[in-house]
Structure 1
């Protein structure tokens, strides 16, 4: 696989589910070229190693604690990604940090990795996103599409692909 768009998070922990919601929205609304995989990684952690190892480029979408105002969007690359995961929001983030470390150790790290995220307001048990994070759902979808466009990938809207 050329490109993996990976949404991470837990849907029952309020804002922690933003990454999963973004990839669900992308999968529902767009048709992607064969070289792009859009995956709901949920809280799978190390179980995602095979998919990470097959990707040349990786976009991770997740809630990320950057000590900024709730709803603040972030884009991290390279060495900034592991540093951002030092502050754990939930158990899956330890899995994500471990996953990226193991991928690097076994030489299966993508050539390019981008983490697109949002500062959560709450990761308490709740099914709904908080208002500041919910307001960033569409902007995050747009940022994923912009990242893909910078790599020459332009998915088509699902409604157009069925005509």
Structure 2
């Protein structure tokens, strides 16, 4: 699940990653790639059948632009509760609601990227854009741990 706002430069990194994943890779039928955009709480619907979840997003970590972060389990909603943008307000709420409704995935992983530019632009900054391929590779490793293999087209 890639989330973010593609109109705000690096804020859209999660969406850009899933767009490339859909376009350039053959995915097992069990894998649902979701462009979550800025939907926040409305993404709860996608968890109804999700056993595992990878969230890709821009995450403020007071690091250098393009720095990446991998968190799992309860660290994910805790990190996303430090809001950087309006859509992030809904992600922790969505995960909390999923727990209440017994929809919480067995495993939740956050792949985050430190943004450099958060102003109106359709283009990501070079340090963040340079991480897209690595994030796709990391998604492939996460899926492989869950017994799912992706292949480049």
**TM-score range normalised by the length of the shorter chain:** over 0.9
Which residue number in structure 1 is paired with residue 52 of structure 2? 57
Which residue number in structure 1 is paired with residue 3 of structure 2? 8
1:47 aligns to 2:42 (yes or no): yes
Structure 2 unmatched runs, 5+: none
SS at match of 1:65: coil
1:117 aligns to 2:127 (yes or no): no
Q: 2: distance between equivalents of 1:88 and 1:138?
A: 25
Q: 2: distance between equivalents of 1:100 and 1:157?
A: 31
After superposing on structure 2, the runs of 4+ consecutive aligned residues of structure 1 that deviate more than 2 Å are: none
RMSD (Å) for aligned C-alpha atoms: 1.1
1:34-56, CA deviations, whole angstroms, 9 ceiling, x for partnerless residues? 11111111111121111113100
- What aligned pairs does 1:80-99 form with structure 2 within 5 A after superposition? 80-99=75-94
Is the contact between residue 77 and residue 91 of structure 2 (CA under 8 Å) also seen in structure 1?
A: no
Is the contact between residue 90 and residue 123 of structure 1 (CA under 8 Å) also seen in structure 2?
A: no
1:77 aligns to 2:66 (yes or no): no
Which residue number in structure 1 is paired with residue 147 of structure 2? 152
Kindly tell me the number of residue pairs found equivalent between the two proteins.
153
Give the TM-score, by structure 1 length.
0.90
Which residue number in structure 2 is paired with residue 23 of structure 1? 18
Structure 1 unmatched runs, 5+: 1-5, 159-163
